[in-house]
């Protein structure tokens, strides 16, 4: 299994699959926003940016998946960004379902706060402008809100990432000393 996973991570198909997952999730978010009329909140936009980061990591891995430099760069970007995305989605869930022992529930910012060198909400407001409320549960499926689904999705992405990273060390083909 480890060797097969290692070999798969060295193929363009693996990185393309990750990129297609990102594109599918981004398309789903835009569908909910523009066709279902669900207003994205600040946390939704940050989660969307994190997903774009995973897409960039997939593109890095696609450059030369058999080259250790590009594969490692892609894996590092994938792991760091998926971890950040999971942190954001857990925070978002805490806004929707606050701890009942807290006197005041936490709330998110009113507007997105991007760096001055990358004002994504000004460059592409139809994708990166937030006008929803982070604490409102506006959609559920099978009893889970959208941020709860994102916790599951980003957790699964991190599990896959961890398995692939482990396979980089365990599943290496044996070295030939004499050819």
Give the start-to-end residue ranges of the domains of the chain.
Answer: 2-170
Residue with the bigger pLDDT between 140 and 174: it is 140
Q: Is 21 a catalytic residue?
A: no
| Crossing angle (nearest 10°) for helices 146-170 and 68-96 | 150
Looking at 1.10.1040.10, 1.10.150.120, 1.10.3720.10, 1.20.1550.10, the CATH number of the domain 2-170 comes to 1.20.1550.10
User: Mean pLDDT, the chain, as a whole number?
Assistant: 87
Q: Is 41 a catalytic residue?
A: yes
Residue 111: predicted pLDDT: 79
Of the residues 108, 172, 175, 176, only one is catalytic, namely 108
Q: Is 108 a catalytic residue?
A: yes
Share of the chain above pLDDT 70, in %: 91
What sign does the dihedral 35-36-37-42 (CA atoms) show? negative
Of the residues 10, 21, 44, 71, only one is catalytic, namely 44
Integer Cα distance of 93 and 89 in angstroms: 6
pLDDT confidence tier of residue 120, bands split at 50, 70 and 90: confident
| pLDDT, tens digit, 9 for 90 and up, residues 15-64 | 999 999 999 999 999 999 999 989 899 999 999 999 999 999 999 999 98
Of the residues 41, 71, 175, 176, only one is catalytic, namely 41
Query: Who's near 173: CB < 8 A, 6+ residues apart?
Result: 3, 6
Of the residues 10, 21, 71, 134, only one is catalytic, namely 134
Integer Cα distance of 83 and 88 in angstroms: 9
Residue 29: predicted pLDDT: 93
Strand, helix or coil for residue 141: strand
Query: Who's near 76: CB < 8 A, 6+ residues apart?
Result: 57
Of the residues 12, 48, 71, 176, only one is catalytic, namely 48
């Amino acid at each position: 299994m480890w060797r097969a996973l290692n070999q798969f991570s060295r193929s363009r198909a693996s990185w393309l699959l990750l990129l297609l997952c990102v594109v599918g999730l981004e398309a789903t978010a835009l569908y909910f926003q523009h066709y279902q009329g669900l207003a994205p909140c600040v946390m939704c936009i940050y989660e969307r940016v994190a997903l774009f980061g995973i897409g960039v990591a997939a593109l890095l891995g696609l450059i030369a998946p058999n080259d250790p430099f590009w594969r490692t760069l892609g894996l590092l970007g994938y792991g760091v960004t998926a971890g950040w995305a999971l942190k954001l989605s857990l925070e978002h869930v805490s806004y929707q379902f606050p701890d009942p022992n807290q006197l005041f529930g936490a709330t998110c910012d009113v507007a997105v706060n991007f760096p001055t060198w990358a004002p994504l909400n000004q460059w592409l407001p139809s994708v990166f402008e937030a006008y929803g409320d982070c604490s409102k549960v506006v959609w559920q499926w099978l009893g889970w809100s959208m941020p709860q689904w994102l916790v599951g999705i980003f957790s699964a992405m991190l599990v896959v990432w961890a398995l692939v990273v482990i396979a980089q060390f365990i599943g290496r083909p044996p070295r030939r000393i004499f050819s």
